Structure 1
Amino acid sequence: MNTFQKGLSSLNKEVEIGSLPIQGQIPIWLSGSLFRNGPAHFMGGHWFDGLAMIHKFSFRHGNVSYTNRFLRTEAYHHVMEAGKQVAGFGSAGTAGGSNNTNVNIMKMDHHFLALTESPGMVEFDPLTLNTIGVYQFQDNIPAHMTTAHPHLDPHSGQLINFTIQFGKTTFYHIYTIDPMTAHRQLIGSIETDRPGYMHSFAITNHYIILLEFPLVIQPMLLKTGKNFTDSLIWKPDQGLRFLVVSKADGKLHRIVESQAGFGFHVINAFEQGKDVVIDACISKEASAVTNLSIDQLTGDSQIGSHPQFKRYILEEGRSVAVEEILSLESIELPSIHYQRYNGQNYRYAYGVSTSLLHPENMDNQLIKIDTRTGESKIWSQEDCYPGEPVFVATPNGTKEDEGILLSVVLSGVQGRSFLLVLDAQTMDEIGRAEVPHHIPFGFHGIYTEEGM
């Protein structure tokens, strides 16, 4: 049995714990909450299809409390009350169990929303974690799919995302959300004849960039009861296309091509003169999508889909991107000092990674990569498996990496999880708060001082 197998098993307990045992120290200045999202009840055999659970770690005066709750979605009621298996990313099942929003969390106009790639966002109460319901926008932007990674534009203060509308012609509809009024406004619509599966995208000062991978969605195969991956076909001959869209008028500014690759996550992007630089977690093929069933992850063979840190430079006047690999280490679930450096020239990226000396099918270290030197710093502990590191800046800090990282880590030997606090500059441990049970491997979350 793999020591990380517990992280792919169900957690059905909902608890409230007022104070977790602490080793080391939790910074006194930390006075908000970390919200995490991810699957917690597995039925269909695919990691991505577990029922959504929100986990909340709250910090006050060096103490840490913990609460978790399942989102009471349509999918939850189908599975937990009716005993049905619902169709998902990699699991076939019955229709109707929708809005299993187990991927990410967004804060908008004081609303806390759980997201996935289907258009329905599910609102929850940040104090109790009780489910409020599907959030309704008052507009009619067409959507069959979307991303769970909207961007906050540092210049306009608007949120930016896009939807995919399938039909005889497929459209990417790019829109803004006013975070104070939750009003959506269409920026522009881009036609495509090869709709790519895109989990995230990039923004810079002047552009929105869609990474149209050659992992093509075949709308005719998006049938009720089928799993989503059955509709995907890998067409490496088509290569990767960067659709560079102008923020100002929503028009397609240019298309830049590159060799085939696939990635779930963009790390960051920025403009350098008239060039556009995009950093992303990229694998050479689409096995990152097809090798994530629980049986495959916990099997004896290496799945071989750990992505690399790739930089693409879209030079002015060139139709083919310049490619660089910035680190030999793998990186996934990336984060940066988002509030200050999203869409801007930056230096440091953080993420989970798998050891080059001890590779496993689940990431077993946290990594910090210096994009200017390629050097990396690593935190690891034997038989420990960390989740996405969330960067929290030190109050009044002036340096890009002045802050801490928060990561939920599974101790494979103990079969329990802990919240790890690292110094983001040194990657040294500051402290940890121990949870009395395991937390299944999740995906994304946010730290905020609202919602205590």
Structure 2
Amino acid sequence: MAAPTALPSLSSSGTFHRLASDEEQDAKATKENFHAESWKDWPNEAGFERLEEHRGPIDLKIIGQIPSWAAGSLYRTGPGQNAVDTDNGSTHRVSHWFDGFAHMHKFDIIPSSAPGDGNASIVRYSSRLQAETFVDDIKRRGWRSGISFGQRADPCVGIFSKFMSLFHPIQANNAVVIERNLPGPWSETSRAAQAGHRTGTGDLFVLTDNSLLHKVDPDTLEPLEFIATSKLHPSLRGPLACAHPQRDPESGDMFNYNLEFGSRPTYRIYRTNASTGNVDILATFTVADLSPAYIHSMFLTKNYVVLCVPSSHFSLAGMKIPFVRNLVDGMAPFDKSKPTQWVVVDRRYGDGVVARFTTPAGFFFHSVNAFEEAVVEDRGSQAEWVDLTFDYVGYDSTAIIQGFYLDVILDREEAARKYWIDGPEGSDLVPHLRRQRFRIPASPSSSGSSAQGLSPLPSAEEVFAIPAPHVGELPTINPLYATKPYQFVYSVSSRGLSTMMDCLVKTDVGSRAATIWAPPQSHTPGEAIFVPRPNATDEDDGVLLSVVLDGTAQVSYLVCLNAKTMEEVGRAELEFPIGLGFHGIHAPVSV
């Protein structure tokens, strides 16, 4: 990483480098920016209001250069509409960012055909609404059916309707994570039908924290169908799952969990075989001290799949959810006395749960990476122990969830001040890149698939905790380093200038140095997706693709950054705004 340069102000725009020794100073400057209400000069309304579908395709103006080896399709998902005029004359307004109506986007990056030109010559954009049936149902009813993340329930809706809409929803509103070529019983038919697609994307699915998979046409973005995980395996009948399943980078097998509520809430960890589409239940556990919780992502190493159960527990074993009809109000108040629990499941030999451990009470949305390292105590001997390392972006409490209500993001009636300044303890709102390490025997014995009868739980070792703005949310890495030791994390962070994100940051997990790309005032970046250079030897040899909203001009652009230097090399400009979304995926051109 380049040598550090002087930083006149954390509020500067440009690319600058920071060291571990700057962490405390920069965290303090970020807090000061919040207390100065700097967000009032950083508008984000264009990312949430009056957003439109553009089925296109639309050719975009390219400024600078986008390398030809980044050719492929960049898919993005997130909320679009946030208000619906109903048939009874009222307006249904979305209250939480996570509950906006699904809108999917595609950027086709097409390389130049000119001899010797190593850059893309065309970037084509298209988008499509994904929740039209869901929205039509709201228009007819006048209220939202099913479980939402944080939408406030209509008190006029009767309890019978609440229960029926919860367990028999008309259609879901998946808008968080995109996965391509998911293994399952649909794989062979779908891929045969899509054999000519230039990126080799036969199946495209949009996921959220429920147990429904939303299938989308990868070419037209037409919404196709919803598939319940119970169709994969009859025991996967619970309503909740990870929005972020884990994929084995070698076999392509997919791993997820399913949470079933009841008098004895049950967790099931399962694998979908990439070759056959069959599902194996790797572990089933119901433990008195393991409460049902909101879990957004999980971890995978070479030999284990690991479920981290944060302190985001549901009240009444999850049975409060049908009454409040959203996950946020269904959660119990955060309790520092209830630690985060980790469950380690063998994924190679059918040994079920092989270890459990704890870390201090806290919360997280996103895992970053996980890997194993053999521990050899005597030279020349075989390893008797294995260190499991887990990296994630964590918080000291669940208070951050409240910060994503649209009233706060858009600072309606001073809501931003009430939250960021007068609200929760400031440290609870600061994301940290945390590394936890836990040692297990190289050949652990099974604790049984039920995870019952385990001795008092040991604690993991926290190796480091790097605070914002040297790290942020929506973390990504070079995908070739998944389940392996790695060096760099890319994320969207905040210097306290916006109620959303205001910069992209590259974090070196070895030196704790950070390189920050700070766009101009009111330019809000989205998740940075890493595209590796073919045949590269350096981990950071590639580009980052991020959709940026210019909140002042009310337009968006796709920016391309050099992942080594964090400097802009090119962009593709739109003439309208794209909603501030969540996650995406780059599907490279098939060779």
Q: Is the 8 A contact 2:262 2:319 kept in 1?
A: no
Answer yes or no: is 1:294 the counterpart of 2:294: no
In structure 1, give the amino acid aligned to 2:301: T
Cα deviation, 1:197-255, whole Å, max 9, x if unaligned, reads 11001111111111111110231101166222111012221111111122132522121
Residue from 352, 363, 367 that aligns with 2:505: 367
Going from structure 1 to structure 2, the CA distance change for 1:391 and 1:122 (only over 3 Å counts) comes to: same
User: 1:116–1:147: 8 Å Cα contact kept in structure 2?
Assistant: yes
Alignment partner of 1:199 is 2:296: yes
Aligned equivalents of 1:147, 1:25: Cα separation in 2: 37
Structure 1 match to 2:172: 99
SS in 1 for 2:138: helix
Per the alignment, residue 395 of structure 1 pairs with: 534
2:223 — aligned with what?
131
Match of 2:474 in 1: 333
From 480, 484, 492, the equivalent of 1:344 is 484
Q: Partner residue of 1:33?
A: 73
Letter matched to residue 362 of structure 1: M
**If you compute each CA radius of gyration, which structure gives the higher value, 1 or 2?**
2
Residues 432, 467 of structure 2: 8 Å contact kept: yes
1:23-49 CA deviation, whole Å, 9 max, x = no partner? 111112222100001010112211111
- State the distance in 2 between where 1:392 and 1:283 align: 28
1:266 — aligned with what? 367
User: Matched residues in 1 for 2:213 and 2:323: separation?
Assistant: 20
CA contact 1:368–1:376 (8 Å) conserved in 2: yes
Count of residues in Structure 1 that have an aligned counterpart in Structure 2? 449
Q: Taking structure 1 as reference, are residues 150 and 272 closer, same or farther at Cα in structure 2, changes over 3 Å only? A: same
The equivalent of 1:56 in structure 2 is 106
Instruction: Check the 8 A contact 1:196/1:215 in 2, yes or no.
Output: yes
> 2:558 matched to 1:419?
yes
Matches of 2:287 and 2:565 in 1, distance apart? Answer: 45
Match of residue 280 from structure 1: 392
3-state DSSP of counterpart to 1:313:
strand
Q: Secondary structure at the match of 1:264?
A: strand
Specify the SS of the correspondent of 1:78: helix
Question: 2:283–2:352: 8 Å Cα contact kept in structure 1?
Answer: yes
1:240 pairs with one of 328, 333, 340 = 340
CA distance in structure 2 between the aligned counterparts of 1:74 and 1:307, rounded to whole angstroms: 36
Q: Which moved more, 1:308-317 or 1:374-383?
A: 308-317
Q: Return closer, same or farther for 1:257/1:37 CA change in 2, 3 Å cut-off.
A: same
Pick one of 283, 305, 310 that aligns with 1:188: 283
Structure 1 position 348, deviation (Å): 0.7
Distance 2:408 2:398 in 1: 15
Q: Give % identity.
A: 30
8 Å contact kept, 1:121–1:134: yes
Q: Distance in 2 between matches of 1:34 and 1:12?
A: 19
Is the CA contact 2:103–2:131 (under 8 Å) kept in the aligned structure 1?
Answer: no
SS in 1 for 2:328: helix
2:449 corresponding residue in structure 1: none
CA distance in 2, matches of 1:180, 1:442: 32
Amino acid across the alignment from 2:56? E
Corresponding residue for residue 376 of structure 1:
514
Task: Report the alpha carbon displacement of residue 77 of structure 1 after superposing the two structures with TM.
Answer: 2.8
Q: Is it true that 1:79 corresponds to 2:79 in the alignment?
A: no
Aligned equivalent of 1:146, options 241, 249, 252: 241
Instruction: Give, in whole Å, the separation in 2 of the partners of 1:74 and 1:306.
Output: 38
Query: Which residue identity lines up with residue 334 of structure 1 in the other structure?
Result: P
- In 1, the alpha carbon distance for the partners of 2:569 and 2:523 equals 17
Q: Give yes or no for the alignment of 1:211 onto 2:308.
A: yes
Q: Which amino acid aligns with 1:217?
A: F
Quick one: which of 203, 213, 217 aligns to 1:111? 203
Q: Which region of structure 1 is more displaced relative to structure 2, 399-408 or 244-253?
A: 244-253
The Cα of 1:134 is off from its aligned counterpart by 1.0
C-alpha deviation, 1:370, in angstroms: 0.6
CA distance in 1, matches of 2:397, 2:49: 28
Task: Write the distance in 2 (CA, Å) between the matches of 1:322 and 1:401.
Answer: 28
* Partner deviation per Cα, 1:51-105 (whole Å, 9 max, x = no partner): 1011000010211000000114642332356654345111125733541001111
State the distance in 1 between where 2:353 and 2:232 align.
Answer: 27
Q: For the residues of structure 2 that align with 1:187 and 1:166, how far apart are their CA atoms?
A: 19
8 Å CA contact retained: 1:76, 1:97:
no
Coordinate RMSD, CA, aligned: 2.1
Structure with more relative contact order (C-alpha pairs < 8 Å, separation 6 or more)? 2
C-alpha distance in structure 2 between counterparts of 1:28 and 1:119, whole Å: 37
Give, as a single letter, the amino acid of the residue that structure 2 aligns with 1:31. A
Q: Which amino acid aligns with 1:293?
A: Y
Decide whether aligned partners of structure 1 residues 325 and 290 sit closer, same or farther in structure 2, where only a CA change above 3 A counts: same
Secondary structure (helix, strand or coil) at the match of 2:47 reads helix
Deviation, structure 1 residue 290: 2.4
Of the three residues 11, 19, 23, the one matched with 2:63 is 23
Distance 2:250 2:126 in 1: 35
Structure 1, unmatched stretches of 5+, are none
Number of the residue aligned with 1:438: 577
- Greater Cα offset, 343-352 or 91-100: 91-100
1:304-343 aligned at under 5 Å gives the runs: 304=426, 305-316=429-440, 319-323=458-462, 324-327=464-467, 329-338=470-479, 340-343=480-483
- Cross-structure match for 1:228: 327
Helix, strand or coil: the match of 2:98? helix
Write the distance in 1 (CA, Å) between the matches of 2:394 and 2:50.
29
Instruction: Determine the structure 2 residue equivalent to 1:408.
Output: 547
Q: Secondary structure of the residue that 2:238 maps to in structure 1?
A: coil
Distance 2:94 2:369 in 1: 33
Residue of structure 1 aligned with 2:271, choices 155, 176, 179: 176
Provide TM-score, normalisation by structure 1: 0.94
- Conserved in 1, the CA contact under 8 Å of 2:367 and 2:393? yes
Structure 1 or 2: more helix by fraction: 2
Give the distance between the partners of 1:121 and 1:433, measured in 2 at CA.
Answer: 31
Paired residue secondary structure (2:134): helix
- Could you tell me how far apart the structure 2 residues matched to 1:254 and 1:60 are? 48
What secondary structure sits across from 2:459 in the alignment? coil
Code of the aligned partner of 1:230? D
Whether the 8 Å CA contact 1:327–1:374 is kept in 2: the answer is: no
Per-residue deviation, 1:430: 0.9
| Aligned counterparts of 1:73 and 1:374: Cα–Cα separation in 2 | 45
Sort the Cα spacing of 1:449 and 1:365 in 2 relative to 1 into closer, same or farther, 3 A. Answer: same
1-structure distance, mates of 2:430, 2:585:
24
Q: CA deviation at 1:180?
A: 4.8
- Report how far residue 138 of structure 1 moved: 4.2
- Provide the rounded CA distance (Å) in 2 between the counterparts of 1:270 and 1:399: 19
Match of 2:437, SS? strand
Q: In structure 2, do the counterparts of structure 1 residues 306 and 385 end up closer, same or farther at CA, with 3 Å as the change threshold? A: farther
